[in-house]
Structure 1
């Protein structure tokens, strides 16, 4: 296996925490790894949220494996997590797996521009809390015979598909950011590129396709 030398123990711990959260939502989760130089990007898709989660990891030295100076592979998140050695700040790249469909379509690397209208971090966290409370209240109020999976999903889609203010960012993207541990601190930025919106924080990003824009801006790699 190829060894990844992470910048420090903190980077290793953050990577392990991200992988653990993905596995919480999908025990068979896969992640796509892209490394070049001293930057490693880890892409995952927690199915409950229908968004793409991105965790940037700093490497201690430029990636190199023989003649290969870049890495681009889809692997099992569980196997990658098992290989993380926090004390040594290393991880091993597992064998490649057949990637799920989302792994072939990633946000573009460049062309991102800041979008206005994103509420303050405290308001975003309050919005998620209010949405969770509304979902719980509405589903608990359902008569037993109506409390079906289809009805719960319908209520969930209605709530989580709402947009944040006038930004076009669905509430589910903010919920995903909070659930994955990204929505901390006071620095969050909303970016757009083509058909993609991206909520970026110092701890990771959540990207989502904007509705109604077709395949514009897709980056198939």
Structure 2
């Protein structure tokens, strides 16, 4: 399927997908994406650096397709034709290891429907607390290890009233998934939790961490 051109059902989805991939690259220039299509939707899976969750960005297709390939995010971004609402599948890469450990396609059980404002406020609180606590550190103490420790302590908490870790809420905010003012659905998939919004989903493993990030050209 390398080189295959896929036309999106809604032209403006190409620009949204490009913005999503661009946010990934700001965190990690070597980021990878796994593309899966089995019908009229292609799902783009990525792992936003440091958040330890998976992002899922679905895009509706003009024609059904079958596809399962891992590619470099930068290469995929370069193929997107926003004017025509299309993308071209770039050369595959091997790895990263998380790409072999995706959440299930089916079997999800709705747990709760969360008000949009509640989730937005929780994301804003995470950002504000992290900024305040890092600014309180002396310059000499503001090391990467210290910043990571603060982030991990905050992100390991759960969204009040749910088992969802705040890392998933923060990642959804950072990726632009909370822009649409619509309720957020929390789903249970056994070993996974999923936070679904109209613009995409975040998936987090229960009590576990995801494997590594790197990619290698085939």
Regarding TM over 0.5, the answer is: yes
Give the root-mean-square deviation of aligned CA atoms.
1.5
Q: Is 1:178 aligned to 2:145, yes or no?
A: no
Residue of structure 2 equivalent to 1:163: 158
Deviations 1:77-107 (A, max 9, x none): 1111111111112111001101201000000
Q: Is the CA contact (8 Å cut-off) linking 2:155 and 2:166 kept in structure 1? A: yes
The size of the alignment, in residue pairs, is 206
Q: Which has the larger radius of gyration?
A: 1
SS at match of 1:24: helix
How far apart are residue 145 of structure 1 and its match? 3.4
How far apart are residue 212 of structure 1 and its match? 6.4
Flag structure 2 segments of 5+ consecutive residues without an equivalent: 210-218
Residue of structure 2 equivalent to 1:92: 88
**TM-score normalised by L of structure 1:** 0.89
Which is strand-richer, 1 or 2? Answer: 2
How far apart are residue 29 of structure 1 and its match? 0.9
Flag structure 1 segments of 5+ consecutive residues without an equivalent: 64-69, 214-221
Residue of structure 2 equivalent to 1:195: 191
How far apart are residue 144 of structure 1 and its match? 3.2
Distance 2:206 2:14 in 1: 32
**TM-score normalised by L of structure 2:** 0.90
Distance 1:49 1:180 in 2: 11
Segment drifting more, 70-79 vs 129-138:
129-138
Using a 3 Å threshold, how does the CA distance of structure 1 residues 177 and 211 change in structure 2: closer, same or farther?
A: same
Deviations 1:144-187 (A, max 9, x none): 33322222211111111110113111111001101111112122
How far apart are residue 207 of structure 1 and its match? 0.2
Q: Is 1:42 aligned to 2:59, yes or no?
A: no
Residue of structure 1 equivalent to 2:70: 74
Q: Is the CA contact (8 Å cut-off) linking 2:182 and 2:198 kept in structure 1? A: no
Residue of structure 2 equivalent to 1:67: none
Higher relative contact order (CA 8 A, sep 6+): 2
Residue of structure 2 equivalent to 1:216: none
SS at match of 1:178: helix
Distance 2:189 2:144 in 1: 35
Deviations 1:196-221 (A, max 9, x none): 000001100000001169xxxxxxxx
